[in-house]
Amino acid sequence: MDLRAYYRKLREVEASLTEEYPVVVSQETPDGGKAGVPNEVPRAVAARMIVEGKARLATEEEAREFRKQLEEARVRAERAAAASRIQVTVIPEAELKALRGMLERSKG
């Protein structure tokens, strides 16, 4: 392997990437890499994956869809976290009547 050519190609690909975190789509590889999995990675990692044939740059539509799915997942996670923070206290009716009676006596 010609290391000069490899690093020249790596620099060229990295310079051609316009986004700080481009979306890449994995390619099938002999070592078990699964094809078609999108991921957002730093520019240097994306360049290395593209040069090594492990991934390709996602199309604008693929990147838009991937980021839309990430946003939807983030919203779902925030809702689930908020729901887990909600606290409910169940008060038996007899205790509720007693509390109401105490409130009425303190007002009157």
Instruction: Go through the chain and tell me how many residues it has.
Output: 108
| pLDDT score at 50 | 96
56 CB neighbour count, 10 Å cutoff: 15
Q: Is the model's pTM score more than 0.95?
A: no
Note down the domain range covering 62. 3-107
How many structural domains comprise the chain?
Answer: 1
Question: Which positions of the chain have pLDDT values less than 70?
Answer: 108
Give the residue from 105, 12, 84 showing the smallest Cα distance to 51. 12
| pLDDT score at 108 | 63
